Amino acid sequence: MSRTVAILVARLIFAGAFAMAAVFKFAGMEQTAAYVAAAGFPFPLLLAWLAAIFEVALVLAFLTGAFFSEAALLAGVYVIFLAFAFHGPSLWQGNQAEFGFFVDHFTFLAGLLFAAVHGPGEKLALRQGLIWKNEAASAN
pLDDT digits (tens, 9 = 90+) for 12-51: 999 999 999 999 999 999 999 999 999 999 999 999 999 9
3-state secondary structure 89-126: HHHCCCCCHHHHHHHHHHHHHHHHHHHHHHCCCCCCCC
What pLDDT score was predicted for residue 72? 97
Torsion sign, CA atoms 100, 102, 108, 113: negative
Give how many domains the chain has, as a whole number.
1
Range of the domain at 121: 2-139
> Which pLDDT tens digit goes with each residue over 39-94?
999 999 999 999 999 999 999 999 999 999 999 999 999 999 999 999 999 889 88
**Which H/E stretch holds residue 41?**
none
Contact 18, 58 (CB under 8 A): yes
pLDDT given for residue 133 in this prediction:
60
Report residue 136's pLDDT band, with 50, 70 and 90 as the boundaries: very low
79: Cβ–Cβ under 8 A, 6 or more apart, which residues? 105, 108, 109, 112
Q: What is the largest CA-CA distance in the chain?
A: 56
